[in-house]
């Protein structure tokens, strides 16, 4: 297995991009990553996308996007594992480069979610849960995470205020990220009095519906050195699955797929949670960020709420989480999120994050999760 | 790169399986492959599926199916490139085993297409074409292939009767395949007088709408030897893309992605078309089989119709194509087709194909295509 580096990143402003089609958004973003890397060709490409079929009536997007990027006949592969599709695209590209099958690979993610109405978006997102046993009975994603939140509050004494602190922190970070969909701060009071979606979760506990893409160019470290680029290595990769329905899990508050994917990634990189300087994790809802911190071993079980409340996960804290603003403030075009997390970690390790820079960050981790946690992809990055 | 072998295959009867859900069909098929291989675990799995989102309202199926197969937390990846999704699942599994990342990988494909009505199935299949420039203007897949057929007839003098001969041959082969959806023979007269779908294509030129799955277990050759299984090696793999819209291609009759994917696979295996004893190719429409034969170099440009008419592609011919019955007779659950092609080639190379056995077959090739040819995956198999 060869050492793999990220040598180019691309991400454009996220939001409701009604004046751009799926292919426009993609090409713009992918070209940014290619420009940033300085390569003159790609050997292969991966596109993470959850549901272009339902959102824009278009499958076969791996070929469509290779065509519009002017890269056909290169092999182009779409991967899907709900909201972790972007992380999975990164993992497969990593495998292809590490194995020696290809040298220069474009890894990317995209979702165009706002061309449909709210009901249809809710339906599309529900296809990440168990359609026959969960959605059929009427539950939606805010409902699923609300059940997890209630269980976490009951088991560990996590408070409503602690959930809100996650949103306040992530919006504070996102206010320093010009590419974020909602780059503004919110107060504790704003969150606690925002409209209720699924008790105990309120609208400011939920990540938004977003159009956007993100892209990166990866290659063997030896080629990266020749290109004279700042090198960020991918040193760990993990991917795991869990029961699709939360009712089938032993403990609703425990994200087993995140634990397993983290374990694989830590083992490959030879690192432990305490070695990581900066985390980008899957805060699709505020409660998700708390459960993820526990499953990744960043804090002990049941201690995540307290850690956030004490400011440990803030930019200035000892375990900074989601300096980009997270899904909450940056937006959550589901298939793109996993790659956008990698884009932020690469910026942090290159020290290009401006006001939200974590000083001296050398090792970063991304955790990208599908549905209510039936899939997780984790990567570890190190400054070269 | 390690040598890779197929050591187990699974496929159940295809058709309109209204009494079985997506997960039922999948688990039954995957367990057949696992049983056939004799392995006691899998390290990873790939699922090829084109549009479970539109067909059954379920994305995130890689995790769902790992869960229902009892294999979570193994990494499970869904890949999609329209009707070539199954071939792509095989290719990624091959890469994972060849690279040394995993030893025992389940590669599989599935599609549940008959839970929706005909209009919705036509819409879902149309998402493999260019939604904004092709489908938006009203064309469907039979229409796209009809345009290709007209161009081929015009350029090379291919006849309506030659197209029909493809269907007659494939139904004759399929009549010997008990797993086929339509295991019966049709006459030239049946085809030529069947109902017109998109001139010049008639209903018996078209592959059907099907529910079904197919699965295979792959591993390094060294492990296959220890398991004392008949060994079929995968010696070549190619994947390529082309313009999504047929109007954007230089020559509508030429499948550039098939040519490119074939070229890669032949080069990796060190083989040429003349070395291959048996072909399973993507006859979604009769004209497709003709164009594929030319792009793979089995016959010269424009000579495919004549080759079929002379019986060269029949079971007893010198270049047997689609002994399984092809998509035409066996059925075409789009995500499963690429794996089912591999299942047939493995049976042929193991000499387990009964009445449709190609005598002494030692080398086989599969060609699986997405949409009107914007993606193709080609594999070459050899008896170990």
Using an 8 Å Cβ cutoff, are A6 and A342 in contact? yes
Alpha-carbon distance of A271 to A275, in angstroms, equals 6
Q: Which residues contact A263 (CB under 8 A, 6 or more apart)?
A: A238
Residue A371 in tokens = 């549905």
Task: For chain A, state the CA radius of gyration.
Answer: 19
Residues of A in contact with B77 (CB under 8 A): 79, 81, 88, 92, 239
CA B298-B281-B326 angle, to 5 degrees, is: 130
Condensed to tens digits (0 to 9), the pLDDT of residues A112-131 reads 999 999 899 999 999 999 99
Q: What is the CATH number of the domain that holds B335?
A: 3.40.47.10
With a cut of 90, say whether residue A1 has pLDDT above it. no
How many Cβ atoms from other residues are within 10 Å of residue A132's Cβ?
A: 17
Q: Which residues of B touch A92 (CB under 8 A)?
A: 77, 92
| Nearest to A3, CA basis, from A99, A107, A116 | A99
Structure tokens given for B126: 């149309």
Other C-beta atoms closer than 10 Å to the C-beta of B31 total: 14
pLDDT at B229: 82
* Token pair of A217 as six digits: 């160019």
B81 & B141 share domain: no
From A1, which residue of chain B is nearest by alpha-carbon distance? B99
Q: What is the pLDDT of residues A246-267, one digit of tens each?
A: 999 999 999 999 999 999 999 9
B279-310: buried (b, 16+ CB within 10 Å) or exposed (e) per residue?
Answer: bbbbbbbbbbbbbbbbbbbbbeeebbbbbbbe
Per DSSP, A87 falls in state: H
B161-180 pLDDT, tens digit each: 999 999 999 999 999 999 99
Question: Within chain B, what is the greatest distance between any pair of CA atoms?
Answer: 56
On whether both B175 and B105 belong to a single domain, the answer is: no
pLDDT tens, B295-344?
999 999 999 999 999 999 999 999 999 999 999 999 999 999 999 999 99
A140 touches chain B (CB under 8 A): no
Asked whether residue B342 is domain-assigned, the answer is yes
Range B41-70 average pLDDT: 98
Q: What 3-state DSSP class applies to B100?
A: coil
Most A-contacting residue of B42, B75, B87, B240 (CB-CB within 10 A), to test interface: B75
Annotate A95-109 with three-state secondary structure. HHHHHCCCCCEEEEE
Q: How far apart are the first and last CA of chain A?
A: 17
Q: How many CB pairs under 8 A join A and B?
A: 203
Cα dihedral sign, A241-A247-A248-A250: positive
Residue A337 within a domain: yes
Percent of chain B residues topping a pLDDT of 70: 100
Verify whether the Cβ–Cβ distance A77 to B88 is below 8 Å: yes
**Is B126 within a domain?**
no
Based on the domain organization, do B286 and B307 belong to the same domain?
Answer: yes
Which of B60, B94, B134 should be substituted to probe chain A, the one whose Cβ sees the most A Cβ atoms within 10 Å?
B60
Q: Is A171 a catalytic residue?
A: no
B168/B172 Cα distance (integer angstroms): 6
Q: List the alpha helices (DSSP H) in chain B.
A: 22-37, 52-56, 61-68, 85-99, 118-126, 141-156, 160-174, 188-192, 221-226, 256-269, 286-295, 304-309, 326-330, 337-349
Q: In whole angstroms, what is the distance from residue B154 CA to residue B124 CA?
A: 30
Shortest Cα distance, chain A CAs vs residue B98, angstroms: 8
- The minimum CA-CA distance between B263 and chain A, rounded to whole Å, is 12
CB contact under 8 A, B73 and A135: no
What residues of A are in contact with residue B54 (Cβ under 8 Å)?
53-54, 59
Chain-chain contact of B241 with A67 (C-beta, under 8 angstroms): yes
Could B77 and A81 be called an inter-chain contact, meaning their C-beta atoms sit closer than 8 Å? yes
Q: Which residues pair with A380 in a beta bridge?
A: A236, A365
Mutate to test the interface with A, among B63, B115, B255, B375 (most CBs of A within 10 A): B63
Residue of B70, B74, B77, B248 to mutate, interface with A, max A Cβ within 10 Å = B77
Residue B124: its chain A contacts at CB < 8 A? 53
> Do B28 and B172 have their domain in common?
no
**Number of domains chain A is built from:** 2
Residue B362, φ and ψ in degrees, nearest 5: -120, -25
Q: Which residue of B has its CA nearest to A2?
A: B99
CA distance B230 to chain A (A): 27
Tracing tokens 């007209």 back to the chain, one arrives at: B150
Q: Are residues A291 and A360 in the same domain?
A: yes
- CB-hemisphere CA count at 13 Å for A368? 36
Provide the pLDDT for residue B238.
98
* Closest alpha carbon within chain A to B263: A73
Distance (Å) from the alpha carbon of A8 to chain B's nearest alpha carbon: 23
Do B145 and B103 fall into the same domain?
no
Cβ <8 Å between A241 and B54: no
Q: Same domain, yes or no, for A174 and A315? A: yes
- Mean of pLDDT over chain B: 97
Q: Which of A232, A267, A300 is the last residue in one of the domains?
A: A232
Spell out the alpha helix ranges (H) of A45-140. 52-56, 61-68, 85-99, 118-126
Is A260 part of a structural domain of the chain? yes
A294 belongs to a structural domain: yes
Q: State the Cα torsion B65-B69-B75-B76 to the nearest 10°.
A: -30
**Please, what sign has the CA dihedral across residues A61, A66, A67, A73?**
negative
Which of A67, A100, A130 is facing B244, going by the closest CB pair?
A67
Mean pLDDT on B74-88:
98
What percent of chain A shows pLDDT beyond 70? 100
Which residues of B are designated catalytic? 83, 332
Q: What is the mean pLDDT of residues B47-57?
A: 98
Give the strand pairing for B375-383 and B232-241. Answer: antiparallel
A80–B240 C-beta distance less than 8 A: no
Dist. CA B126–CA B124, nearest whole Å: 5
How far apart, in whole angstroms, are the C-alpha atoms of residue A368 and residue A284?
Answer: 10
pLDDT tens, B235-274?
Answer: 999 999 999 999 999 999 999 999 999 999 999 999 999 9
Q: Classify residue A102 as left (phi > 0), alpha (psi -120 to 50) or beta.
A: beta
Say whether pLDDT at A228 is over 90.
Answer: no
pLDDT in tens, B181-240: 999 999 999 999 999 999 999 999 999 999 999 999 999 999 999 998 889 999 999 999
* Paired tokens of A372: 């209510």
For A13-36, the pLDDT digits (tens) are 999 999 999 999 999 999 999 999
Range of the domain at A79: 4-117+210-232
CB contact under 8 A, B67 and A243: yes
Tokens of A348: 């942090």
- Identify whether A40 is part of a domain: yes
What ipTM describes this predicted complex? 0.97
Residue pair A303/A155 in contact (Cβ under 8 Å)? The answer is no
B141 plus B107 within the same structural domain: no
Distance from CA of A376 to the nearest CA of B (A): 9
| Gap between the Cα atoms of A326 and A183, Å rounded | 11
Is A241 in Cβ contact with B71 (below 8 Å)?
Answer: yes
Q: What DSSP line would sit under B191-245, residue for residue?
A: HHTSPEEETTEEGGGB----EEEEEEEEEEHHHHHHTT---EEEEEEEEEE--SS
What is the Cα–Cα distance from A170 to A327, expressed in whole angstroms? 8
**Residue B340 in domain:** yes
Rounded Cα–Cα distance for residues B201 and B149 (Å)? 8
Helix pair angle (B141-156, B118-126), 10° resolution:
60
Label residues A21-54 b or e (16+ Cβ within 10 Å = b).
bbbebbbebbebbbebbebeebbbbbbbbbbbbb
Q: Are residues B335 and B246 in the same domain?
A: yes
Stretch A283-306: mean pLDDT: 98
Structure-block tokens of residue B324: 């399984």
Evaluate whether B109 touches B11 at the Cβ level (below 8 Å).
no
Per-residue confidence band for B1, with pLDDT thresholds at 50, 70 and 90: confident
How far is it, in rounded angstroms, from Cα A377 to Cα A236?
A: 11
Q: Between vectors from CA A309 to CA A306 and to CA A311, what angle results, nearest 5°?
A: 115
Residues 17-36 of A with CB under 8 A from B: 21, 23
Reported pTM: 0.98
Closest CA to A77 of B244, B240, B107: B240
Specify if B185 maps to a domain: yes
Nearest to B333 by CA among B145, B110, B9: B110
Residue whose C-alpha is closest to residue A34's, from A216, A226, A229 = A216
Contact call for B100 and A99, based on CB within 8 A: yes
Query: Token pair for residue B204?
Result: 């018996």
Chain A, residues 39-98, CB within 8 A of chain B, namely: 50-51, 53-54, 56-60, 62-64, 66-67, 71-82, 88, 92, 95-96, 98
pLDDT value of position B65: 98
Select the residue of B21, B92, B96 nearest A132 (Cβ to Cβ): B21
**Shared domain check, A62 and A197:** no
**% pLDDT > 90, chain A:** 98
Q: Which residue of B has its CA nearest to A123?
A: B57
Task: Among A57, A67, A135, select the one facing B127 at the smallest CB separation.
Answer: A57
DSSP B136: G
Please tell me whether residues A90 and A66 are part of one structural domain: yes
When the pLDDT of each residue in chain A is averaged and rounded to a whole number, the result is 97
Shared domain for B334 and B366, answered yes or no, is yes
């Amino acid at each position: 297995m060869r050492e793999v580096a990220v040598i180019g990143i691309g991400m454009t402003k996220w939001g409701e991009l009604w004046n751009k089609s799926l292919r426009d958004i993609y090409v713009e973003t992918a070209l940014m990553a290619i420009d940033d890397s300085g390569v003159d060709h790609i050997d292969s490409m991966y596109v993470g996308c959850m549901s272009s079929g339902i959102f824009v009536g278009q499958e076969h997007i791996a070929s469509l996007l290779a065509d519009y990027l002017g890269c056909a006949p290169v092999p182009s592969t779409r991967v899907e594992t709900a909201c972790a599709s972007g992380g999975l695209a990164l993992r497969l590209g990593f495998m292809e480069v590490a194995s020696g099958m290809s040298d220069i690979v474009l890894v990317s993610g995209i979702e165009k979610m706002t061309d449909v109405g709210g009901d249809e978006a809710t339906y599309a997102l529900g296809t990440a849960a168990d359609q026959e046993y969960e959605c059929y009975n009427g539950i939606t994603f805010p409902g699923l995470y609300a059940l997890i939140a209630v269980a976490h509050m009951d088991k560990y004494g996590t408070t409503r205020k602690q959930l809100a602190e996650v949103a306040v922190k992530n919006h504070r970070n996102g206010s320093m990220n010009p590419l974020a969909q909602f780059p503004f701060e919110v107060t504790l009071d704003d969150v606690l009095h925002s409209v209720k979606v699924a008790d105990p979760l309120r609208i400011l506990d939920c990540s938004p519906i977003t159009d956007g893409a993100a892209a990166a160019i990866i290659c063997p470290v030896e080629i990266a050195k020749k290109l004279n680029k700042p090198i960020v290595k991918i040193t760990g990769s993990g991917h795991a699955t869990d029961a699709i329905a939360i009712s089938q899990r032993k403990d609703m508050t425990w994200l087993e797929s995140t634990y397993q994917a983290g374990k694989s990634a830590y083992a490959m990189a030879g690192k432990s949670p305490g070695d990581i300087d900066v985390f980008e994790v899957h805060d699709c809802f505020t409660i998700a960020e708390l459960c993820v911190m526990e499953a990744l071993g960043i804090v002990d079980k049941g201690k995540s709420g307290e850690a956030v409340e004490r400011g440990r996960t803030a930019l200035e804290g000892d375990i900074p989480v989601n300096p980009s603003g997270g899904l909450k403030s940056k937006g959550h075009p589901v298939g793109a999120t996993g790659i956008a997390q990698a884009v932020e970690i690469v910026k942090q390790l290159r020290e290009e994050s401006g006001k939200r820079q974590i000083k001296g960050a050398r090792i970063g981790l991304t955790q990208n999760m599908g549905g209510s946690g039936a899939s997780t992809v984790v990567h570890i990055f190190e400054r070269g």
